[in-house]
Chains A and B, each alone.
Chain A
């Protein structure tokens, strides 16, 4: 099996090398064939791995393949840990990646229009794009297959890098460059926490290897207490909180969420693959992978509940006022990531990870559907210029309907099973008395209404109502080719059905038992599973479950959207006037961007300027660097004089050196050999 595990990440890496370094020679057609072939290999093998681990022997594969360094007992290694959690992640990542790869052919087909005439960067941009997404697949696989923190960190940074490169893929657009810089900088903040977290783990658990860390946790290694800034806490809490800060950056949780909406400047396939289905879920994966650690620390779980809850509700609200089709879905992603974190905070790890999986399918579907609309409208993204597209884009229409229904949690669709379990679990956590769970429960429940409202606002604005695009665009409206529609259909199938098929074993059963640890004292999913009698009765139950009115909230959300955008558009104007103040708050996205650019970025620049002028310009450059350089230059010039080129000077220097050594050593020797 070694070779299979090794081949899964290496195939996309080789694809990336081939298309990245030799893209010009391969030509565009061969380049995408190579790239797609590489990912297809990884996908097939990942499903083989999922088959083996999911149905057969559940013993995890844990093996170190290569040791780079061993310093003072710390091993820097590359190794794979493949259990059911990583097997599921691998399958999701490679499958979505494969869909996106195929879809990209259609989306990027006329990419040359996006570059100015004769632009050097535009040359081979198509091949470069495939190289990047291949590289991303490699990095993401390394991340989820890691068996130690170092490799996790490598994958973590590598996916961040590719994300940066792809957000700024159209590097001639100032907004894209602003967005990728923003993503990079905000992720720095999270990564600092992540690194400190890794350091804490190393300091208190004595290893970077997952298995060793978990052993140490079982042996009570996390119980050590320390005092930080006057607060006493356990080592487990410190490590868990710091790692969560890293997860907040990558998975875009409030207040580190600001980069994700802007990342929509990148091409749409990227939004689907990186900024919805896979990379942004790395934080979820991290917390789930570290479940033994988080189970030790109720404070960290409460923090996750609160942060996740805030993100789930308040980012969804912002989605209500966005006009860019991709930004609506981006805020939806933020909100759904909040749901996943809430599940993790409520010790319902399996539910969180399960929502990650279902979300990957329907969110990728929604993004690719949005991309299909964007292609049809010649790269226009403003929903105010759309409307009535149902007639022109039937496949996109139906698949997006399935995606939206899955997203809002319609019974029997994939999203329903994952989301409903989360809400139930958080409710149980609140009853159990976990701090923050009550708040999170309110947020996720209210979030259901908001989710339904913005999803169908988008749906009605785009596909129903008046046709608001200009005449020229309308004439050319048609469904994009099969490379676009086939991935949509292939993603719509799991979006609709996967919950029905898998919720039993994966959430209610103990499919994840070997990967995810839940503490003895509180096991919400066990409680829920006690009342579980198959997926159909579970879905039917939602219609008369008065303790959890999620279904009716969602229905209300759809109804409101229908009322305001289809039935009574004039009421919308009224609502806007009456609610002008909250609307403003939402349109300014609570002022995070202003605060960061005006506060941190401007302040940082101010401090930077002061340090540059004062410290750097005068002290360091003027005196230390240039001063040293001048001194070095003078000394070198002095020695250079000795290197005159005259043989007798050289010989003289040698003799002089000999004499010095003789004096020093034979002189010193005298005293010694007589003694």
Chain B
């Protein structure tokens, strides 16, 4: 235990933490107009963190800090994605927060700490560091959901999220303690070795596995541990919901891969069935519930659950190919969802939250450009080529079929067909219904418009030129 930790590998986390403190202090002394210094510094921090993560981790495979920290291509990819997504979220959020008189630097600060938590998770090589990162993320998210203190719905959602999150964290911690008991170590590599032993850790390990799996499933929001998602999406102010809906989904991939594949990969034949059950349940419940929603944020919540079902289809494949597909899916899904929330935020204005599908009516006539973005986004969520959503689904299904899970792939496809209904219903409102007479003109700043246009273009372009990202995801799992 006397080795010198390789600080150079942990540069992204060190940068994030120091910069978060700098932002805190800067905002205290130079609040500027509308906390502009804090905002721009935060964005700079994220760009730097994403770049540093790719630079320091891509192509590496090293464990340091006494075996608690791993730097490999996967951590680099996930961290860069998380930082990028947070960057987009902050960009969308600023406009909205200003309009609703909520613009405080805390939003960005708490967001930065959440990103730090996700970074720690992505590089965790020990159950302690994993849990540490997870809790840092969760606590930040609880706060973000309650960010609009005066909104009773936001407070209610935060309360529910917090209580259920605490429950799930408890379960996960309990499971971890049992795994520790069975293997005698917190180090994921040693746990993997213990799981490879003839008795595979015994019944204690079995208990631990189920508890840990439930904890992970909660963080994703897989059925039946999904109850918090609709309430949080609907109750939280839209920028917070956007944050919850994007980067943590990518971080959850890290959680799953590190724990279930890295630590408990030898027990795959046991958790595979659990993944399949959760996949089917999420696909069915998510899609069916989304059908009857009229609130668009709630609808996006249930749609998220159905997409999580797709992620679990990929996990159930259990192959590097499947994990790569899932990583691609999560990243692109998060980008797409960001654009969907972006449109919702664009339609909102001071004193009016665009929440109902009816608020989308006639967007085509009001602003054709954003209607096109919405069309691209909904096509991508449905999985229609040439948008990126098609590619993501394609890769996941391919992995599942290669793993022999043809029936699961069929279920997933059927679920996607059901999903087409509610996505297209939104498009019907956007394209074919007429807007209300009183609807005022859209007021959005130039930065918001540009960001949304770029976001929509990325969703389309990543579907036409998916090679780079697919190759990166495959390389992260050692595939050519």
Name the distance in Å between B213's Cβ and chain A's nearest Cβ.
7
| A666 on the B face (CB < 8 A) | yes
Interface stretch, picked from A158-166, A214-222, A646-654, is: A646-654
| A670 on the B face (CB < 8 A) | yes
Name the distance in Å between B198's Cβ and chain A's nearest Cβ.
9
Once the chains bind, are B213 and A661 in contact (CB under 8 Å)?
yes
Name the distance in Å between B281's Cβ and chain A's nearest Cβ.
9
Contact digits for A595-634, partner B, Cβ 8 Å, 1 yes 0 no: 0000000000000000000000000000000000000110
Q: A570 CA to B210 CA in the complex, in Å? A: 102
Query: Assuming A68-B464, A643-B230, A654-B227, is B202 touching A673 (CB within 8 A)?
Result: yes
Query: Assuming A651-B163, A654-B224, A661-B213, is B206 touching A673 (CB within 8 A)?
Result: yes
Interface stretch, picked from B241-249, B286-294, B425-433, B442-450, is: B286-294
Question: In chain B, what residue has the closest Cβ to A635?
Answer: B288
Once the chains bind, are A637 and B464 in contact (CB under 8 Å)?
no
Once the chains bind, are A665 and B274 in contact (CB under 8 Å)?
yes
| A658 on the B face (CB < 8 A) | yes
Once the chains bind, are A650 and B207 in contact (CB under 8 Å)?
no
Question: In chain B, what residue has the closest Cβ to A648?
Answer: B163
| A636 on the B face (CB < 8 A) | yes
Q: Using Cβ atoms and an 8 Å threshold, which residues of chain B touch A656? A: 224
Pick from B160, B288, B464 the residue with the most CB of A within 10 Å: B288
Name the distance in Å between B146's Cβ and chain A's nearest Cβ.
15
Once the chains bind, are A665 and B211 in contact (CB under 8 Å)?
no
Question: In chain B, what residue has the closest Cβ to A658?
Answer: B214
Q: Using Cβ atoms and an 8 Å threshold, which residues of chain B touch A633? A: 291-292
Question: In chain A, what residue has the closest Cβ to B281?
Answer: A657
Q: Using Cβ atoms and an 8 Å threshold, which residues of chain A touch B227? A: 643, 649-650, 653-654
Once the chains bind, are B292 and A636 in contact (CB under 8 Å)?
yes
Pick from B160, B168, B213, B227 the residue with the most CB of A within 10 Å: B227
Name the distance in Å between B104's Cβ and chain A's nearest Cβ.
28
Q: A673 CA to B206 CA in the complex, in Å? A: 10
Question: In chain A, what residue has the closest Cβ to B224?
Answer: A657
Q: A358 CA to B203 CA in the complex, in Å? A: 86
Q: A664 CA to B210 CA in the complex, in Å? A: 10
Name the distance in Å between B45's Cβ and chain A's nearest Cβ.
35
Query: Assuming A636-B288, A651-B167, is B206 touching A665 (CB within 8 A)?
Result: yes
| A669 on the B face (CB < 8 A) | yes
Once the chains bind, are B214 and A661 in contact (CB under 8 Å)?
yes
Q: A643 CA to B286 CA in the complex, in Å? A: 12
| A645 on the B face (CB < 8 A) | yes
Question: In chain A, what residue has the closest Cβ to B171?
Answer: A658
Once the chains bind, are B231 and A645 in contact (CB under 8 Å)?
yes
In this complex, the interface size class of chain B, counting residues with CB under 8 Å from chain A, is 35 or more
Q: Using Cβ atoms and an 8 Å threshold, which residues of chain B touch A643? A: 227, 230, 289
| A109 on the B face (CB < 8 A) | no
Q: A258 CA to B227 CA in the complex, in Å? A: 61
Name the distance in Å between A270's Cβ and chain B's nearest Cβ.
26
Q: Quick one: which of B199-231 are within 8 Å of A by CB?
A: 199-200, 202-203, 206-207, 209-211, 213-214, 218, 224-225, 227-228, 230-231
Once the chains bind, are B289 and A639 in contact (CB under 8 Å)?
yes
Q: How many residues on the A side are at the interface (Cβ–Cβ under 8 A)?
A: 28
Question: In chain B, what residue has the closest Cβ to A666?
Answer: B206
Q: Using Cβ atoms and an 8 Å threshold, which residues of chain A touch B230? A: 643
Q: Quick one: which of B134-179 are within 8 Å of A by CB?
A: 159-160, 163-164, 167-168, 171
Name the distance in Å between B197's Cβ and chain A's nearest Cβ.
11
Once the chains bind, are B218 and A665 in contact (CB under 8 Å)?
no
Q: A658 CA to B202 CA in the complex, in Å? A: 19
| A531 on the B face (CB < 8 A) | no
Contact digits for B324-357, partner A, Cβ 8 Å, 1 yes 0 no: 0000000000000000000000000000000000
Contact digits for A560-601, partner B, Cβ 8 Å, 1 yes 0 no: 000000000000000000000000000000000000000000
Question: In chain B, what residue has the closest Cβ to A644?
Answer: B227
Q: Quick one: which of B224-261 are within 8 Å of A by CB?
A: 224-225, 227-228, 230-231
Q: Using Cβ atoms and an 8 Å threshold, which residues of chain A touch B203? A: 666, 669-670, 673
Q: Using Cβ atoms and an 8 Å threshold, which residues of chain A touch B224? A: 653-654, 656-657
Once the chains bind, are A632 and B291 in contact (CB under 8 Å)?
yes
| B311 on the A face (CB < 8 A) | no
Q: Using Cβ atoms and an 8 Å threshold, which residues of chain A touch B214? A: 654, 657-658, 661
Once the chains bind, are A673 and B291 in contact (CB under 8 Å)?
no
Q: A632 CA to B287 CA in the complex, in Å? A: 10
Q: Using Cβ atoms and an 8 Å threshold, which residues of chain A touch B273? A: 664-665
Within 8 Å by CB of B164, from A635, A639, A651, A658, lies A651
Q: A232 CA to B26 CA in the complex, in Å? A: 84
Q: A632 CA to B227 CA in the complex, in Å? A: 20
Q: Using Cβ atoms and an 8 Å threshold, which residues of chain A touch B277? A: 661
Once the chains bind, are B285 and A639 in contact (CB under 8 Å)?
yes
Once the chains bind, are A640 and B289 in contact (CB under 8 Å)?
yes
Once the chains bind, are B207 and A647 in contact (CB under 8 Å)?
no
Once the chains bind, are B292 and A640 in contact (CB under 8 Å)?
yes
Q: A657 CA to B274 CA in the complex, in Å? A: 11
Q: A68 CA to B211 CA in the complex, in Å? A: 43
| B270 on the A face (CB < 8 A) | yes
Q: A612 CA to B171 CA in the complex, in Å? A: 56
Once the chains bind, are B211 and A658 in contact (CB under 8 Å)?
yes
Q: Using Cβ atoms and an 8 Å threshold, which residues of chain B touch A528? A: none
Once the chains bind, are A654 and B218 in contact (CB under 8 Å)?
yes
Q: Using Cβ atoms and an 8 Å threshold, which residues of chain A touch B163? A: 647, 651
Within 8 Å by CB of A669, from B159, B167, B270, B288, lies B270
Question: In chain B, what residue has the closest Cβ to A665?
Answer: B210
Pick from A68, A651, A661 the residue with the most CB of B within 10 Å: A661
| A540 on the B face (CB < 8 A) | no
Q: A656 CA to B224 CA in the complex, in Å? A: 9
Pick from B167, B211, B218, B224 the residue with the most CB of A within 10 Å: B224
| A662 on the B face (CB < 8 A) | yes
Q: Using Cβ atoms and an 8 Å threshold, which residues of chain B touch A632? A: 288, 291, 418
Q: A119 CA to B209 CA in the complex, in Å? A: 68
Name the distance in Å between B386's Cβ and chain A's nearest Cβ.
8
Once the chains bind, are A637 and B167 in contact (CB under 8 Å)?
no
Q: Quick one: which of A429-449 are within 8 Å of B by CB?
A: none
Q: Using Cβ atoms and an 8 Å threshold, which residues of chain A touch B213? A: 661
Q: A665 CA to B274 CA in the complex, in Å? A: 8
Name the distance in Å between B406's Cβ and chain A's nearest Cβ.
16
Once the chains bind, are B292 and A650 in contact (CB under 8 Å)?
no
Q: A664 CA to B274 CA in the complex, in Å? A: 9
Q: Using Cβ atoms and an 8 Å threshold, which residues of chain B touch A658? A: 171, 210-211, 214
Q: A635 CA to B291 CA in the complex, in Å? A: 11
Q: Quick one: which of A493-518 are within 8 Å of B by CB?
A: none
Q: Using Cβ atoms and an 8 Å threshold, which residues of chain B touch A637? A: 292
Q: A68-B464, A632-B288, A650-B228 are in contact. List 11 more A-B contacts (CB 8 A).
A: A636-B292, A643-B289, A647-B164, A650-B160, A653-B225, A653-B227, A654-B168, A657-B214, A665-B273, A669-B203, A673-B203
Show 26 A/B contacts (Cβ-Cβ < 8 Å), sorted by A.
Answer: A68-B386, A68-B464, A636-B288, A636-B291, A636-B292, A639-B288, A639-B289, A640-B289, A640-B292, A643-B230, A650-B164, A650-B228, A651-B163, A653-B224, A654-B214, A654-B218, A654-B227, A657-B214, A657-B225, A658-B210, A664-B273, A665-B206, A666-B210, A669-B206, A669-B270, A670-B203
What are the 5 tightest A-B residue pairs by CB atom distance, in nearest-first order? Answer: A650-B227, A657-B224, A669-B206, A636-B288, A666-B206
| Chain B interface (Cβ < 8 Å from any Cβ of A) | 159-160, 163-164, 167-168, 171, 199-200, 202-203, 206-207, 209-211, 213-214, 218, 224-225, 227-228, 230-231, 270, 273-274, 277, 285, 288-289, 291-292, 386, 418, 464
| Chain A interface (Cβ < 8 Å from any Cβ of B) | 68, 632-633, 635-637, 639-640, 643, 645, 647, 649-651, 653-654, 656-658, 661-662, 664-666, 668-670, 673
